Amino acid sequence: MMRLIEKGLMYGNLYHVSSPALVARYNRALERLSGKQTALTDFHIDLSGYAPEIGVELDDPLYLNPNGCNRQFILLSTEQKTAPLLESKFSTSRGILRRFIEENEAQLFALTARDAVAGELVNSVYSVNSAADLFDMRRVTIEADTTGGHVAEAAKLSDMIEEFRTRDDAWWDDVLIAEMITLAKTTGDVTRAPIRLSKDSYDQENFWTAHFGGLYVFRSVDHPAAITVGPKEDLGELPINFTMSFSERNHIATFLAMNDLVEPIVKAKGINAAAILRQKLDFMIVDVAASAGINLTGLRRSDLRGLARRYAAELPEEFRVLNELLRWAEGGGPWPRIASGHPAYFYTLRAKPHKDRDLINMLLAELCPLDVRQLFICHKQLFYDSYATWPDEKKTYVADFLAREYQADKAGARAALFGADAPLSEPENEELGIVAQVGPWGRISISRDDGDDDEDDKRRRKGRKKKRRRDDD
């Protein structure tokens, strides 16, 4: 995993905690939530305040997520909103936390200037003992306050002020006035600078959970269903119309089609379908070659073609069918009929634009594990789990590829896959790339046949610099 960490592909964009004041605030919040403290003086935290270093120290990767169903959080800064959410058990958790911070950013900025804010994503389920318990999770409410209770005290002071203004004899109530003065020393003038955090509830209708080996739940679609990675018999009876496992690929395809959730890549607008298919085929060649112990460093596309010929007998069935589809997309072959039960079927799809497109792309990534770039973008935890099992040659190739291609244009890759307003996309500092130059899984080119593409890239970069200078003028 060190390759990924060094290249910023794992534990990237975490918030660094190193000052004694921030460490002390973190410990106060941690003790309030879990009764524990850390002896570390330097660590990195994610969106929820979880630190991988502290997880190792406490030997508990769920020290802020008891039972994996009530995520707790510690906010030291509103800058945490750009961080990833590690050890997530529900696909909705990151979006809910991000939305909470954005909706209360001014208040949280003021509160975290002097104290940590601690809270919890509260639902009606406190432990998941059976898969049916997951269906009781319909709404999530965030409860939060500083470790000093400033929000609660401000609410109490506001009530006292209202009573003072409306009660006829309040002017003579010395006890009320004294309590107001005492609270105001802590909260400040709440009439001019109110301290209030919204306590909104967030729907959790369609989601993925890591519980029970991985389960996708779709309740707010026309034809509700649950899709489990493992055998559906292990889940018991569920309160939903249909349950299917990953082995029932025909049923999954029918579900996606009936609810109009996906579209073929070759029919999607504004993308280069042939280049996307070529990229997927390259990853399949890399997987076979790496298993054979081939050094993949510095491979060009011509080298990959040579490896495809050399290991043609070992290439998966998905490769043959996607190659036929590629020939059609390039105008040189007949339209291949790909049945929904075929291993290549889900490689030909992407989510349509709708509110659950991130969840659908996550599902497709898990159904298409050989497309490692899609897996990294859409289902990072599964990518990390898979990466740990790969041959060293594949680890090196994939890490280098992602650092070179994905890191170079993350905003463009996400915009092409999710759309510019994707709710789960992370803010980037890079300029948004031209969508037409990227496919739904990011930049298309994996390797080059010759040096001409390098010169093209230089000319494009030079042209973009000139355009930026004209815009600045």
pLDDT tens digits for range 392-423? 999 999 999 998 888 777 776 665 554 444 44
Q: How many C-beta atoms surround the C-beta of residue 389 within 10 A?
A: 8
Show pLDDT as tens, one digit a residue, over the chain (473 residues).
888 988 888 988 899 999 999 999 999 999 999 999 999 999 999 999 999 999 999 999 999 998 888 899 999 999 999 999 999 999 999 999 999 999 888 888 888 888 899 999 988 777 888 999 999 888 888 988 888 776 666 666 666 666 667 777 777 777 766 776 776 666 665 455 556 677 678 888 999 999 999 999 999 999 999 999 999 999 999 999 899 999 999 999 999 999 999 999 888 776 778 888 998 999 999 999 999 999 988 888 889 989 999 999 999 999 999 999 999 988 877 888 899 989 999 999 989 888 898 899 999 999 999 999 999 999 999 999 999 999 999 999 999 999 888 877 777 666 555 444 444 444 333 332 222 222 232 332 323 333 344 444 444 445 544 544 444 44
Task: Let me know: does 63 contact 36? Beta carbons within 8 Å.
Answer: yes
Between CA 376 and CA 399 the distance in angstroms is 10
On whether residue 463 sits in a domain, the answer given is no
Residue 100, in any domain of the structure: yes
Residue 467 in any domain: the answer is no
For residues 28 and 173, state if they share a domain. Answer: yes
Give me the phi and psi of 128, to 5 degrees please: -105, 95
Domain termination site, one of 188, 203, 218: 203
Q: What does DSSP say about strands 139-146 and 117-122: parallel, antiparallel, or unpaired?
A: antiparallel
Q: Are residues 303 and 178 in the same domain?
A: no
- Is residue 61 within 8 A of residue 87, CB to CB? The reply is yes
Same domain, 102 and 171: yes
Assess whether 177 and 279 both reside in one domain: no
In a domain, 281, yes or no: yes
454 occurs within a structural domain? no
Query: In 116-202, which residue ranges form alpha helices assigned H by DSSP?
Result: 150-166, 174-187
Entry pTM: 0.79
**Among 203, 232, 247, residue at a domain's last position:** 203
Whether 187 and 75 map to the same domain: the answer is yes
Q: For residue 442, give the H/E element and its range.
A: strand 442-443
Domain boundary among 155, 170, 203: 203
Q: Which one, of 442, 425, 441, 408, lies nearest residue 82 by Cα? A: 425
My answer on whether 32 and 137 are in the same domain is yes
The pair of three-digit structure tokens given for residue 271, joined into one six-digit string: 């993308």
- Using CA atoms, how far apart are residues 99 and 77, in angstroms rounded to an integer? 15
Per residue in 189-248, pLDDT (tens digit) is: 545 555 667 767 888 899 999 999 999 999 999 999 999 999 999 999 999 989 999 999
Same domain, 47 and 186: yes
Asked if 20 and 117 sit in the same domain, the reply is: yes
Asked whether residue 85 is domain-assigned, the answer is yes
Structural domain total, the chain:
2
**Considering just the CA atoms, what is the radius of gyration of the chain in Å?**
26
Q: Is 229 domain-assigned?
A: no
169: containing domain: 2-203
Whether 120 and 197 have beta carbons less than 8 Å apart is answered as no
Is-contact 48 85, C-beta < 8 A?
yes
Answer for the pair 373, 400: CB distance below 8 angstroms, yes or no.
Answer: no
83 and 182, same domain (yes or no)? yes
193/271 same-domain check: no
Which tokens hold the place of 437? 């130059």
Q: Is residue 434 part of a domain?
A: yes
Residues 386 and 314 in one domain: yes
Same domain, residue pair 198 and 315: no
Beta-bridged to residue 15, according to DSSP, are 45
